[in-house]
Structure formats: C-alpha cells, structure tokens
C-alpha cells in the first residue's frame, strides 16, 4: 500500500515537472520593451543586450551581478568585462 502511494506521488511529481518544463516561456521575439535585463556570467550576454538596445527594441539595459569594485567607466569601455 505504501509503495503504491509513493509510486503515485513520484508519478505526479514527474508529470508536474514535465508540464512545467514544456510550458516555460520562450525568448522574446522582435517586440519592443521598456528594458532588457542582462545577468552576467557568460560570454556574449552584455553584447547581446547592447544589440537589443541599439536596435531600438528596448530603451534601457540593466546588468546584474557586476562586481562592486568595477567603476562605470571601466564597464562602459569593456575593460572590466569580456566582449564578444
């Protein structure tokens, strides 16, 4: 009896995870937005965010996860981050 209950719980969990994974939002298309949020940590993210702003699909760009010791001038010139 307990095995069946645990198996049913596991099946419900797996089904719920499957529904969650298949209904995740997709990347935004070409619609215009107020801002783009760029989490740091991988190459190309900041460049892609700038590309979106330059193409006038977003007015502002917010970059999260930047080291507090990085000065705005360093960040703007790209000396404190990796540009691709």
- Span 16-44, pLDDT tens digits: 999 999 999 887 778 888 988 888 777 77
**What does the alpha-carbon distance between residue 77 and residue 52 come to, in Å, rounded to a whole number?**
18
Helix, strand, or coil here: 38?
A: strand
Domain map (residue ranges) of the chain:
2-77
pLDDT of residue 82: 42
Task: Find the range with the poorest average confidence among 6-10, 16-20, 68-72.
Answer: 68-72
The per-residue pLDDT for 10 is 97
Higher pLDDT, 69 or 22: 22
Task: Please tell me the predicted confidence (pLDDT) of residue 22.
Answer: 93
Beta strands (DSSP E) in the chain are 33-39, 58-64
Task: Report yes or no on whether pTM surpasses 0.85.
Answer: no
- d(CA 76, CA 83) in angstroms, rounded, equals 11
């Amino acid at each position: 009896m307990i095995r069946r209950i645990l198996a049913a719980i596991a099946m419900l969990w797996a089904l719920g995870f499957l529904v969650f994974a298949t209904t995740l939002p997709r990347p935004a298309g070409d619609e215009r937005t107020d801002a783009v949020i760029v989490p740091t940590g991988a190459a190309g993210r900041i460049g892609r965010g700038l590309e979106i702003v330059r193409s006038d699909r977003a007015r502002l760009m917010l970059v999260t996860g930047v080291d507090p010791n990085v000065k705005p001038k360093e960040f703007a010139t790209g000396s404190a981050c990796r540009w691709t």
